[in-house]
């Protein structure tokens, strides 16, 4: 399903395809016309994708076909062994994790997981974890500390599940515990925002030494729709909320909330998932190399310093 702002691009691509088909079937030389349209298409793409609004980036972050945690684990890592369950209640499919190799280096990985279709999204609760999902993540944090393996997390959730069942099992308490546990890791910790980074449900596995973000992902205390519904009593004001929240990768980098932006293929990661995953792998390897010389105590202090310096204030 094309996004509204992409329709001019799709219409021009359709016209080019029709001319190529006409040239093939009739033998008429349409090379000059096709070349002109292709040049116009390239300019149009640069114009549209080079000037995306915050709300358009939110839409790209949600685009079907965007790489998920399991896609990254399959294409960028080797020998991923998924571990299930929280040893207390159940296994939460909205969070996946386990052991893997990244270019020969043993790592522990955790990430939100959305579905590819309606059936899988229902099974994975649209990437919105229950408390048992965060308890599973903490179990894997313990594993990383015990064996001294770097801890990598992939964030892609509109938020933790806000339903009654989750609240009955202590959702807010478990998120707080996950924040505390990750902050105390004695190994290198890297978080990467793949798509959506909504509120405490994202931050629960985002207390890392370095936080990376894909170019069209977003990270905020609330989704634009929920913010609009609260402030203006109308979720249709989401574009205005997205602008005010400063949730884009560039805004977050300028504020120091993230440490680096991972580039996406033109038009978004869903246009060329393999290229996006290659960029993710390069960024992770580069960041691990940066952190590998730090002692456990230095990693702890580095993480403390990073989060203590977030935010701006003025003293009168």
- So what's the pLDDT on residue 279? 97
CATH topology of domain 63-309: 2-enoyl-CoA Hydratase; Chain A, domain 1 (3.90.226)
Mean pLDDT across 13-38: 86
Tokens 């972050």 found at: 61
What are the distances in angstroms from CA 209 to CA 138, 159, 189, 312? Answer: 17, 22, 5, 20
Q: What percent of the chain has pLDDT over 90?
A: 75
Note the pLDDT of residue 160. 93
* pLDDT grade for 1, boundaries at 50, 70 and 90: low
Domain ranges of the chain: 4-51, 63-309
Residue 314 has pLDDT above 80, yes or no: no
Its pTM stands at: 0.90
Nearest Cα residue to 177 out of 126, 150, 221, 139: 139
Higher pLDDT, 30 or 193: 193
**Residue 272 φ/ψ region, left for φ over 0, alpha for ψ in the -120 to 50 degree band, beta for the rest:** beta
Which band of pLDDT confidence, cut at 50, 70 and 90, is reported for residue 24? confident
pLDDT score of 246 more than 90 = yes
Which band of pLDDT confidence, cut at 50, 70 and 90, is reported for residue 33? confident
Summarised one tens digit per residue, pLDDT across range 89-98 is 999 999 999 9
Task: Quickly state the pLDDT bin for 134 (edges 50, 70, 90).
Answer: very high
pLDDT in tens, 161-189: 999 999 999 999 999 999 999 999 999 99
| Rounded distance between C-alpha atoms, residue 219 and residue 239, angstroms | 15
Residue 260 forms beta bridges with which residues? 212
What integer is the mean pLDDT of 205-225? 96
Distance CA 211, CA 199 (A): 15
């Amino acid at each position: 399903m094309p996004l509204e702002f992409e329709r001019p691009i799709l219409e021009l691509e359709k016209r080019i395809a029709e001319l190529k088909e006409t040239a093939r079937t009739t033998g008429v030389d349409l090379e000059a016309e096709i070349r002109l349209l292709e040049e116009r298409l390239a300019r149009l793409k640069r114009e549209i994708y080079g000037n995306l609004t915050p709300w358009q980036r939110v839409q790209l972050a949600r685009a079907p076909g965007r790489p998920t945690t399991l896609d990254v684990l399959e294409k960028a890592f080797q020998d991923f062994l998924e571990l299930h369950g929280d040893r207390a209640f159940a296994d939460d499919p909205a969070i996946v994790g386990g052991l893997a190799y990244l270019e020969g280096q043993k790592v522990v990985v955790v990430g939100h997981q959305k579905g590819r279709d309606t059936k899988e999204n229902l099974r994975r609760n649209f990437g919105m974890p229950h408390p048992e999902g965060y308890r599973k993540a903490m179990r894997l944090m313990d594993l990383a500390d015990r064996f001294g393996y770097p801890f990598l997390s992939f964030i892609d959730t509109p938020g933790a599940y806000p339903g009654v069942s989750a609240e009955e099992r202590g959702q807010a308490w478990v998120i707080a515990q996950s924040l505390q546990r990750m902050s105390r890791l004695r190994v290198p910790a890297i978080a990467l925002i793949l798509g959506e980074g909504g509120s405490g449900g994202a931050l629960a596995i985002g207390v890392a030494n370095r936080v990376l973000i894909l170019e069209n992902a977003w990270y905020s205390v609330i989704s634009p729709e929920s913010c609009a519904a609260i402030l203006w009593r109308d979720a249709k004001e989401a574009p205005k909320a997205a602008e005010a929240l400063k949730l884009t990768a560039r805004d977050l980098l300028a504020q120091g909330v993230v440490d680096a932006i991972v580039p996406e293929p033109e038009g978004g990661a869903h246009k060329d998932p393999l290229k996006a995953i290659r960029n993710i792998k390069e960024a992770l390897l580069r960041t691990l190399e940066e952190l590998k010389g730090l002692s456990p105590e230095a990693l702890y202090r580095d993480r403390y310093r990073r989060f203590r310096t977030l935010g701006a204030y003025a003293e009168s």
